[in-house]
Amino acid sequence: MLILLAAIFILHIACITLLLTATIHNAWWMTDTISTDIWARWILMGGQWNYTQIPAYYPQEYLQAVQASSILACIFCILSLFVFVAQLYTLPKGKRFSFTGAFQLLACLCIIIAASIYTDIFHKDERNGWYGASFILAWISVCLTFISCIIYFVLRKKTAA
């Protein structure tokens, strides 16, 4: 049982790490000279990356929805880790970790909303670029948080014997 709890804890830490990396790192859309994320754009000039603002033609409402959803996914995932640890000590024997699973489900829904909006709204007509590592990490974190959510809904607390 202890190995199972350690594996679940490591999976949860991996989810948090991927969500934070996808939210913070500057590689949602890439070209040879431009790196764009949900916060800013970096342009390669003279061998140096220079910080610039997101272009004004980006739909700001959608960009703010992506930003907010990404941040909420991180918050819900971190909160669910604290709830999981608290439930380890307070949950009666035989009960499921439903509250933790609900927070993980909210984290999964938030990051899927962010990645879906970004996929649908931004860079649809651009042919000279590609989705970057942060965008891919966001979709991977969707899968991992969903798997973690299912594990929490199925998992029952047992005795430590």
With respect to residue 39, please indicate whether it lies within any of the assigned structural domains: no
Average pLDDT over residues 104-131: 93
pTM of the full structure: 0.90
What pLDDT, on the 0 to 100 scale, is given for residue 153? 92
With respect to residue 132, please indicate whether it lies within any of the assigned structural domains: yes
With respect to residue 51, please indicate whether it lies within any of the assigned structural domains: no
Q: Is the sign of the CA dihedral 94, 98, 99, 100 positive or negative?
A: positive
Q: How confident is the model at residue 160 (pLDDT cuts 50, 70, 90)?
A: low
Q: Which domain holds residue 72?
A: 2-28+59-154
How far from chain centre, in Å, is Cα 8?
A: 17
Q: How far apart are CA 148 and CA 155, in angstroms?
A: 10
Contact 102, 87 (CB under 8 A): no
With respect to residue 131, please indicate whether it lies within any of the assigned structural domains: yes
With respect to residue 99, please indicate whether it lies within any of the assigned structural domains: yes
Nearest Cα to Cα of residue 81 among 10, 140, 156: 10
With respect to residue 44, please indicate whether it lies within any of the assigned structural domains: no
Query: The tokens of 80 are what?
Result: 């669910």
What pLDDT, on the 0 to 100 scale, is given for residue 159? 63
Instruction: Indicate if the pLDDT at residue 113 is higher than 60.
Output: yes
With respect to residue 37, please indicate whether it lies within any of the assigned structural domains: no
With respect to residue 65, please indicate whether it lies within any of the assigned structural domains: yes
Number of domains observed in the structure of the chain: 1
What are the tens digits of pLDDT across the range 38-83? 999 999 999 999 999 998 888 999 999 999 999 999 999 999 999 9
